[in-house]
Amino acid sequence: MECDAGKEMPEKVWVAAYEAGVPDCIGEIRHDSIAEYIQDCCNRYADLPALSNFGVSLTYAEFRTKGAAIAGFFQNNLKLSKGDRLAVMLPNLLQYPVTLLGALDAGLIVVNINPSYTRRELLLQLNDCGAVAIVIFSGCARLLQGVLDRTRLKHVIVTDAGDLLPRAGAALINFYLKYIGRKIPAWTIPGAIPFARALKTGGNIVPVALTHEDPAFLQYTGGTTGLAKGAILSHGNILANIEQTNLWVRGHLREKCERVIVALPLYHIFGLTINFLSNLQLGALHVLITDPRNIQALIKTMKKTEFTVFMGVNTLFAKLLAMPAFRKLDFRGLRMVIGGGAAIQANIAETWQELTGVPICQAYGLTEASPGVCCNPLNLTNFSGSVGLPVPSTLIRICDDTGQAVGDKEPGELSIKGPQVMQGYWQRPEETASVLSADGWFRTGDIATMDEKGYVRIVDRKKDLIIVSGFNVYPNEVEDVLNAHPGIADAGVIGEAHEIYGEVVVAFVVKSADSLSKNEIEHYCRQNLAPYKVPKEIKFVKQIPKSNIGKVLRRMLRAP
């Protein structure tokens, strides 16, 4: 895992702009697997608090012990073997990192699933990855119940929110969610295993030999077009990105002192690698926010935590700034703020810095890159608007449509190469070959510029991917759902810029039934699409512009 060299590689002009002490390469990685890395952190910081949720903390030693218990259950009770896919459909609960450590320790491949998915989306992902077991939040169990007989799942482990809390606290949280908050619909899955029982019945672990080449995650993304694909992220990919992140931030964070708010979902690669895994090596406390949409509860937790590290997307920053209670927080302990997922709006960044005294350090990444690619130096004094410099051991080049490098500040497609770049897309060799060259260069599909110092700016996307609050939305998928409605004759979908969400989905619809209303379409979409994919605006038109081969001409939909 050393940086590449060779005459064919572009000159790394960006290294001169690095902060003092940040090397251009990550060097050799000490750990063979992510599980070994986590266990090493747990051994070093055994008595320190590692995870907190609903006011209850687990020490690093307790984290390690519970991870080993669930790993033993996977091996001994479920008879899962190295390479089996384990679906994990959990919000940010203590159960997520425990399940993660247990799965990776047992040599399983983790498949993160968004808990806000609909039945259709859940079924597609489960069947594509071929998962044989799932650990799922009880609030999603009814969803799974509706598709279970059409999947390859053999084992279902269900967890309530309070399963790792003390008995009294667990009962209170579970009662509130089920009967007052009404967030736990009734479900029936014969043979479902309670998570709490699984923790108690797991035996000793049989060691599994893992290398940097072994897959650790199938992290689903659409890349630039089409339905979601599983990016194969190896243990080496993730470990490399953890080390790249560590080298970038180590001059600004302190060992055994940091308190990190984890409001980004752990099933998302930004939250998983950058917000959580990378900070374990500091012995940091990670405060898991189960429902970041509950802004008032988030602010109360931030106040109690005296947080020092915060990461978010533009949507979250904007919502916090809009709350009077947030403006009353004490920000004197805040040391680092990183923004990513989608472009941070300049006015949001300026207001944030004015209030907190700490600038938002904008970064750029992709699921296919584990995710970190570029980041601004942390000694910046103001929001720059750029996504920063390539991180250590990362090469980039910006080319025109002929493959020729463009000049400084000229736009072109961004390609990247580094140890964090995925192995490929799960069972999609043709799509892999279309974006990943034999010598390891990944075409991002993003249009970018780079200045003479190496600072990168993302200016557009080559394809039609829409990013809503950091989540990918693929127009083809939304169009397919719309076109399945009996009252819709045709549909086209685009993204439009939005000051809070980055972008929102806009649908153009041709009616086949005059009685069809926008409310009916919205209700239908909410039954078949995750909330962030539901069109925020619906426009009725007489015709959808298309090419002579039937492709929707989205550029014409975007025109006034």
Res 224: pLDDT = 41
Residue 4 binned pLDDT confidence (cut-offs 50, 70, 90)? very low
pLDDT at 294 over 80: yes
Task: For residue 341, report the phi and psi dihedrals to the nearest 5 degrees.
Answer: 85, -45
Domain with CATH 3.30.300.30 in the chain: 466-558
Does residue 374 contact residue 389 with C-beta atoms inside 8 Å?
yes
Least confident of 4-8, 13-17, 104-108, 152-156: 4-8
Res 10: pLDDT = 61
Question: What does the pLDDT look like over 204-230, one tens digit per residue?
Answer: 899 999 999 999 999 998 544 457 899
What global pTM score does this model have? Answer: 0.89
pLDDT at 332 over 90: yes
Neighbouring residues of 179: CB distance < 8 A, sequence distance ≥ 6: none
Residue 478: closest CA among 463, 466, 486, 461: 466
Report d(CA 499, CA 283) in Å as an integer.
36
Residue 548 binned pLDDT confidence (cut-offs 50, 70, 90)? low
Report d(CA 159, CA 525) in Å as an integer.
28
Third-level CATH fold of 395-461: Luciferase; domain 3 (2.30.38)
Least confident of 171-175, 215-219, 376-380: 171-175
pLDDT at 474 over 50: yes
pLDDT over 70, % of the chain: 96
Res 551: pLDDT = 75
Residue 523: closest CA among 538, 513, 542, 539: 538
Does residue 224 contact residue 461 with C-beta atoms inside 8 Å?
yes
Res 222: pLDDT = 56
Question: What does the pLDDT look like over 490-536, one tens digit per residue?
Answer: 999 999 999 899 999 999 999 999 999 999 999 999 999 999 999 99
Res 403: pLDDT = 84
Res 459: pLDDT = 84
Both tokens assigned to 512:
């086949």
Report d(CA 46, CA 315) in Å as an integer.
36
Residue 135: closest CA among 203, 185, 70, 183: 70
Mean predicted lDDT score pLDDT of the chain: 93
Pair type for strands 215-221 and 193-194? unpaired
Q: Which amino acid is at 331?
A: F
Least confident of 15-24, 469-478, 543-552: 543-552
466-558 CATH pick, 2.120.10.70, 3.40.50.300, 3.30.300.30, 3.30.70.580: 3.30.300.30
Res 225: pLDDT = 47
Question: What does the pLDDT look like over 123-134, one tens digit per residue?
Answer: 999 999 999 999
Higher pLDDT, 6 or 128: 128
Res 283: pLDDT = 98
Domain with CATH 2.30.38.10 in the chain: 395-461
Q: Per-residue pLDDT averaged across 317-324, rounded? A: 95
Neighbouring residues of 91: CB distance < 8 A, sequence distance ≥ 6: 115, 137, 265, 290, 291
Instruction: Compute CA distances 145 → 84, 140, 404, 529, whole Å.
Output: 22, 9, 52, 18
pLDDT over 90, % of the chain: 81
Question: What does the pLDDT look like over 414-469, one tens digit per residue?
Answer: 999 999 999 999 999 999 999 999 999 999 999 899 999 999 999 877 778 899 99
Domain with CATH 3.40.50.980 in the chain: 54-210
Res 476: pLDDT = 82
> What is the CATH number that goes with domain 54-210?
3.40.50.980
